[in-house]
C-alpha cells in the first residue's frame, strides 16, 4: 500500500533496473498492484461493513509502519505508526471502501498512472464473511471491471480431487 508518487517511483525504478540488466519490461508489465477493497451499490452501504473492517485492519497494523506511505494534507510524510481513517484511504486512493463508482474512479486512476496490467484484490477485511467476500468478487467482476472496459472470462474449473 503506497501513495501514488511512491508507487509510481517504485514501478519506474523496477523498469529501469530491468532495462539495465538487459531484460526490459513494457509499461505495466511484470508488476502487480495490490488493493484492499470493499464495495457496495452505494458508499453508505459499503461503509456499514467496510469501515469497521478497514479500521480494525489499520489499528492492528499501524504500530508496524504498514501505513507510513500515507501523506498528511500538506503532502508531508505521516508518522511511522500512522493509523489512517477510511476517509484518508479513499482520498489517497490507497484502499477502496465505497460505491461501485468509487471503485471505478480509484482503479481507473491507478490504471492510468501505472499503465496497470495486473491487480490483486484483497476482499477480506476483518469481519467479512466468506459469503460476503464472494459477493464482493461478484460486484467487482460483474459491475466494477466492466465499467473500466475490462472483461473477465469465466473458465471452467478442472475436476478437482481431494489431496488426501
Q: In what order do the strands lie in the sheet with 119-122?
A: 96-99, 33-40, 119-122
- Residue-wise pLDDT for 53-80, tens only, equals 999 999 999 999 999 999 999 999 999 9
8 A C-beta contact, residue 71 and residue 3:
yes
| Residues 88-113 pLDDT 10s | 999 999 999 999 999 999 999 999 99
Integer Cα distance of 58 and 42 in angstroms: 23
Distance (Å, rounded) from C-alpha 42 to C-alpha 101?
8
Amino acid at each position: 500500500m503506497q501513495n501514488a508518487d511512491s508507487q509510481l517511483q517504485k514501478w519506474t525504478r523496477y523498469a529501469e533496473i530491468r532495462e539495465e540488466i538487459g531484460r526490459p519490461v513494457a509499461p505495466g508489465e511484470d508488476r502487480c498492484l495490490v488493493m484492499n477493497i470493499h464495495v457496495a451499490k452505494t458508499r453508505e452501504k459499503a461503509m456499514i461493513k467496510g469501515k469497521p473492517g478497514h479500521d480494525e485492519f489499520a489499528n492492528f497494523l499501524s504500530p508496524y509502519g504498514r501505513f507510513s506511505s500515507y501523506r498528511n494534507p500538506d503532502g508531508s510524510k505521516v508518522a511511522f505508526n500512522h493509523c489512517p481513517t477510511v476517509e484518508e484511504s479513499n482520498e489517497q486512493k490507497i484502499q477502496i471502501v465505497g460505491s461501485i463508482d468509487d471503485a471505478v474512479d480509484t482503479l481507473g486512476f491507478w490504471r492510468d498512472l501505472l499503465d496497470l496490467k495486473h491487480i490483486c484484490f484483497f476482499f477480506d477485511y476483518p469481519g467479512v464473511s466468506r459469503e460476503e467476500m464472494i459477493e464482493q468478487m461478484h460486484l467487482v467482476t460483474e459491475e466494477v471491471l466492466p465499467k473500466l472496459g475490462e472483461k473477465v472470462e469465466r473458465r471452467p474449473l478442472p475436476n478437482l480431487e481431494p489431496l488426501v
